[in-house]
């Protein structure tokens, strides 16, 4: 590798790191402002001011304030999809999804401050919940495709399994936030997945 190309790669890497830092700063500013003032009480201009950027720069990173608040949700979901696809080939769709969820939640540990705050704000503001659901739609279809690739079933089952998983995640998050059940969020999520594996006719 020439000295010139090496310098270009380092410069490119530095730019990407700065972009990631700015995106995270805007996300945190949006979270804190909405937590303090409510979703309707916060403007894009206010978020940009706290993040020390211009309004124009804000739109280089996010489409609107809801997008800024919910940043991180999509990345976590895509990590799950990648984990499902990387599971051993002998595992069926649901088994791969279950094992991927177990491994990821163990690695992540308890949710960080931003994840907890996003969960609370989503419950408090319907517009954020709508944004979350809209964002999860395409990702849920990708998850169903990852299941289809394992099971060879192009019918309804992969979509049902993907939707069941995201439903279990929502229930687990709400249960954990409301402290209606003891244990870590991971414990509660795995218990919710256990419920999906029980017969529905008793």
Task: Output the pLDDT for position 5.
Answer: 66
Same domain, 113 and 179: yes
CA-CA distance, 187 to 184, in Å (whole number)? 5
C-alpha 106: how far from its chain's center?
16
Specify the pLDDT at position 72: 79
Q: Are residues 80 and 148 in the same domain?
A: yes
Res 53: pLDDT:
96
pLDDT of 121 reads 92
Cβ partners under 8 Å of residue 69, min gap 6 = 27, 30, 31, 34, 39, 118, 121, 128, 131
Range of the domain at 89: 73-196
Does residue 139 lie within any of the structural domains? yes
Number of helical H runs and strand E runs in the chain: 10, 0
Burial tier of 150 (Cβ tally within 10 Å: 0-12, 13-18, 19+): buried
Residues 46 and 79 in one domain: no
Domain boundary, last residue among 35, 63, 91: 63
Nearest Cα residue to 125 out of 7, 198, 30: 30
202 part of a folded domain: no
CB burial of residue 199 (10 Å; 0-12, 13-18, 19+): exposed
The CATH number for 11's domain is 1.10.10.60
pLDDT for the residue 111? 81
The per-residue pLDDT string of the chain (202 residues; one tens digit each, 9 = 90 and over) reads: 566 667 666 667 788 899 999 999 999 999 999 999 999 999 999 999 999 999 999 999 999 999 999 987 888 888 999 999 999 998 999 999 999 999 999 998 888 888 888 888 998 999 898 888 888 888 999 999 999 999 987 789 999 999 999 999 989 988 998 887 778 889 999 999 999 998 775 5
Q: Say whether both 36 and 131 belong to one domain.
A: no
């Amino acid at each position: 590798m020439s000295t010139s190309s090496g310098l270009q790669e380092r410069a490119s890497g530095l730019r990407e790191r700065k972009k990631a830092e700015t995106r995270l700063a805007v996300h945190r500013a949006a979270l804190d402002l909405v937590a303090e003032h409510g979703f309707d009480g916060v403007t894009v201009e206010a978020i940009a001011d706290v993040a020390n950027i211009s309004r124009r720069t804000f739109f280089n990173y996010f489409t609107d304030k809801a997008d800024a608040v919910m940043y991180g949700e999509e990345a976590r979901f895509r990590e799950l999809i990648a984990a499902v696809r990387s599971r051993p080939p002998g595992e069926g769709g649901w088994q791969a999804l279950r094992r991927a969820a177990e491994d990821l939640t163990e690695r992540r540990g308890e949710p960080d401050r931003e994840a907890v705050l996003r969960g609370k704000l989503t419950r408090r503001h319907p517009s954020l919940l709508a944004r979350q659901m809209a964002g999860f739609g395409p990702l849920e279809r990708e998850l169903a495709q990852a299941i289809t690739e394992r099971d060879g079933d192009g019918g309804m089952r992969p979509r049902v399994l993907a939707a069941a998983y995201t439903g279990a995640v929502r229930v687990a998050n709400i249960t954990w936030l409301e402290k209606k059940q003891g244990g870590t969020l991971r414990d509660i999520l795995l218990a919710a997945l256990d419920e999906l594996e029980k017969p529905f006719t008793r």
